[in-house]
Structure 1
Amino acid sequence: MRKVAVQNLQPGMFLEKPVYTKGGRILLDRGVKLTESYIRRLGEFGIPFVYIWDERIAEIEIDDSVNDETRLRAAEIVHESMENIRLGKGLDTQEIKKMVEDIIKQILDNSEALLHLSEIRIAGEQLFHHSVNVAIYAILTGVNVRYGEKELLELGTGALLHDIGKSRLPARILNSPEPSFFSDCEEFRNHTSYGFEIMRRENNLSLLSAHVAYQHHECYDGTGYPRGLKGEEIHEYARIAAIANTYDILVSGLYGKRLAPYQTIEYIIAQAGRAFDPKLARIFSTNIAVYPLGSLVRLNTGQKGFVIHIPKNYPTRPIVRLIADADGKKYTGNYPEINLLQELTVFVEEVLEEES
């Protein structure tokens, strides 16, 4: 399985993961043979890429830390929660916490692996899936900080609802096409305070979970909002959520240009000590698959290949199955492999969108 941008799809390719419409209904299922009309339809729905079958890495299966069914249901719960707030209702805290417990269990069952989170391709509802991803990234980080179940539940609940305050923003704010608008708009910044007020009124939610919504835009150096808190004045849950939130915004392209995972990790490390807690940024970065399984990469030697294995604690030193040599000559039938954990002078130079 490998990820291919929709503009690079060719008729005759087969889907390896379903594509969903709003509400989690399947638009195109796994195993569908793509046609020109299907590819055109994917573009019309705004789907940026899909996962397709590739015989050169046919045995590689991406075992997501949290399965599609759970992630789709969690996104539905976030959607329902925001609608309830808009209608003046309260939150179904039991359902929310049960959902977070399910996510925690799946992550703990895969705690020895790097986080693999192949994106669910879905038309619309990005905000709700963003909230789910932030919760997953935050919980994974909490596991590696060695939180107990109580702490993981508080952190995960706060992260899942970190944007609940956006339910009180007018549509003209949420639908603004300009990413820079958000950092300059005082009305948008109010979503953190709104979220805190919504969550702290719920007797069955921890106040610490509410502080995740309140503080996830605070910066380690004191330049964030709403209160300009600095360092450990920001609760550790919120410091974790700040990293998870930024990571998912950048890799999903939620408010602008989409970055590759390795580019996003480079940004987070560069911002350690400024936007982010340095210790937590380091823990986060060593537990994310920066070159996800199936990624097509170019090595500094000029060779090209697919990432087929990522060692725990060394996410930048994968095993790569080569498909072309340094001169661009393609291998056929027998694909050599190179282990970057052993070949220390070789490294990934670039992640490629398509073969050439």
Structure 2
Amino acid sequence: MLKIIEISELQTGMFVTRVVKQKGKLRLTSSGTVKREEEITRLQEKGILELEIDLSKSLGEQSGLHDLSLQEFSKDYGQQLEHSLKIFEQAKDIQSRLMDRISKGKIANLEAVDELAHHLLERIFDNEDTMSIVTLVSENDQYFIEHSLNCSILMMLFARHLGYDEEVMQALGVGALLMDIGMLKLPLLLTEKPESFNQADTQKMQKHVKVALDLVGQLDDISDISREVIELHHERLDGSGYPEALTEQHISVYGRMAAIVDVYDSLTTKRPYRDAYKPASALLLMTDEIPGLDQKLLKAFISCIGANPVGSLVKLSSDKLAIVLNRNKRNPLKPIVMVFYDLQTKQSGEPYPLDLAKSEDVIKGSIDPADFGVNLQQFLIQTFSAK
């Protein structure tokens, strides 16, 4: 049975056959079931006004993602994850070439950078969770490139969570892609322990912000928002940051957001001189021990990515290990996880998805993947490629 509804009536679980009325240019390329609230939000943002749905194929009122069969979820998630990982690898190649050209002054405008940010933004609208997970499962073989991409993704996720429009989201994403470009002039310092820097090393490192601003100053279409991200991401509210030691009243919300994202991704990424922090441990450290971050915004960031972010390895109350696959916005402590190891029997079984919203099992804490020899990217690819 077909029925025409307004976009405000669209719910997860409904099967959409076509767009009936719209004010934007978005075109649906295929029919299908709406599985996530993010999909509805994207349709609204793109100007969809009325749609036709097939009631016979819909999954019922208020069904939502957590009412879909886990088998269907697992199949769809695998396809989405594969696509996001492929896009991330392509983005690494594009970003590497772009940064090389900008550092040599061989690019006169931001068209290519804008295009890359827009491509990542579109993928975020398609599936936030699988784009979140790629920021934690990257191979870390190109720290500078991966860090800039991770920060761009996280900045746009954060901005969307805070309710910014698509134009601001993209400007923030562009800023994150460019904010550490000055480090291209200081490649050797990337592998050094900050604690081992002498005064000359520290001063040199802190100049990378000015170098970046000089490089993007040659571009004729850099936005004020993107420039603020580059200029302020190392400033701290208490004046302990650099390069200008600005204090709270001189640091915009965009600079504060960039500081949080930059620190989080740095902590959760393995470096030559230290292992990566577990996501939950990094968030705790940022809350309790790292001064100068905007604590109100930090709480919003934690709400955005979750106390146990997608991609985290966790221990359940049933003494099983699992990887967080999908946030539950209605109940953040009850995500969908992929269970893969039993600590009691010390055996790995066939991985299976578990919806904690429908289980008595709960997350007891986070685990370091290295403690169990887990390579997250390889595990996820192997798990879902078989489905």
* TM-superposition CA deviations, 1:299-353 (whole Å, max 9, x none): 3x46223246531264444355767778557697898968378759x54234153
* TM-superposition CA deviations, 1:93-141 (whole Å, max 9, x none): 1111111111122212335999333546447322111100000000111
The corresponding residue for 2:258 is: 241
1:178 aligns with 2:178: no
1:253 aligns with 2:284: no
| Aligned residue pairs, count | 296
In 2, distance between residues paired with 1:119 and 1:325?
23
Contact 2:92–2:146 at 8 Å: present in 1 too? yes
What is the identity, as a one-letter code, of the residue corresponding to 2:296? K
Describe how 1:119-138 pairs up with structure 2 within 5 A. 119=136, 121-122=138-139, 124-138=141-155
Contact 1:100–1:157 at 8 Å: present in 2 too? yes
1:94 aligns with 2:94: no
Contact 2:236–2:245 at 8 Å: present in 1 too? yes
Contact 2:338–2:352 at 8 Å: present in 1 too? yes
Contact 1:68–1:120 at 8 Å: present in 2 too? no
* TM-superposition CA deviations, 1:27-46 (whole Å, max 9, x none): xxxxxxxxxxxxxxxxxxxx
The corresponding residue for 2:165 is: 148
Q: CA deviation at 1:188?
A: 0.7
TM-score (norm 2): 0.64
**1:294–1:98 distance in 2 versus 1, CA, 3 Å:** closer
Q: CA deviation at 1:223?
A: 1.0
In 1, distance between residues paired with 2:185 and 2:348?
56
**1:114–1:58 distance in 2 versus 1, CA, 3 Å:** closer
Equivalent of 1:285, from 295, 302, 309? Answer: 302
For residue 106 of structure 2, give the secondary structure of its aligned residue in structure 1.
coil
* TM-superposition CA deviations, 1:232-254 (whole Å, max 9, x none): 41122221111111111111123
For residue 132 of structure 2, give the secondary structure of its aligned residue in structure 1.
coil
Q: Choose 204-213 or 126-135, whichever is displaced more.
A: 204-213
Contact 1:192–1:213 at 8 Å: present in 2 too? yes
**1:305–1:166 distance in 2 versus 1, CA, 3 Å:** closer
What is the identity, as a one-letter code, of the residue corresponding to 2:164? Y
The corresponding residue for 1:139 is: 156
The corresponding residue for 1:117 is: 134
Unaligned runs of 5+ in 1: 1-56
Unaligned runs of 5+ in 2: 1-72, 374-387
**1:212–1:247 distance in 2 versus 1, CA, 3 Å:** same
What is the identity, as a one-letter code, of the residue corresponding to 2:180? D
In 2, distance between residues paired with 1:352 and 1:122?
16
Q: Choose 248-257 or 104-113, whichever is displaced more.
A: 104-113
For residue 306 of structure 1, give the secondary structure of its aligned residue in structure 2.
strand
For residue 225 of structure 1, give the secondary structure of its aligned residue in structure 2.
coil
In 1, distance between residues paired with 2:265 and 2:178?
15
**1:162–1:118 distance in 2 versus 1, CA, 3 Å:** closer
In 1, distance between residues paired with 2:279 and 2:320?
18
1:224 aligns with 2:252: no
**1:269–1:343 distance in 2 versus 1, CA, 3 Å:** farther
Contact 1:154–1:206 at 8 Å: present in 2 too? yes
Equivalent of 1:157, from 174, 185, 196? Answer: 174
In 1, distance between residues paired with 2:94 and 2:185?
17
Q: CA deviation at 1:181?
A: 4.1
In 1, distance between residues paired with 2:351 and 2:160?
40
Contact 1:296–1:304 at 8 Å: present in 2 too? no
Describe how 1:61-72 pairs up with structure 2 within 5 A. 61=78, 63-64=80-81, 67-72=84-89
In 1, distance between residues paired with 2:367 and 2:211?
40
Q: CA deviation at 1:216?
A: 0.6
Q: CA deviation at 1:145?
A: 1.4
Q: Choose 111-120 or 227-236, whichever is displaced more.
A: 111-120
Q: CA deviation at 1:92?
A: 4.4
The corresponding residue for 2:282 is: 264
Q: Choose 133-142 or 255-264, whichever is displaced more.
A: 255-264
Q: CA deviation at 1:84?
A: 2.4
What is the identity, as a one-letter code, of the residue corresponding to 1:156? G
**1:260–1:314 distance in 2 versus 1, CA, 3 Å:** farther
The share of aligned pairs that are identical, in percent, is: 26
TM-score (norm 1): 0.69
The corresponding residue for 1:168 is: 185
For residue 268 of structure 2, give the secondary structure of its aligned residue in structure 1.
helix
In 2, distance between residues paired with 1:332 and 1:166?
44
In 2, distance between residues paired with 1:294 and 1:172?
30
Contact 2:74–2:353 at 8 Å: present in 1 too? no
**1:268–1:197 distance in 2 versus 1, CA, 3 Å:** same
Q: CA deviation at 1:271?
A: 5.1
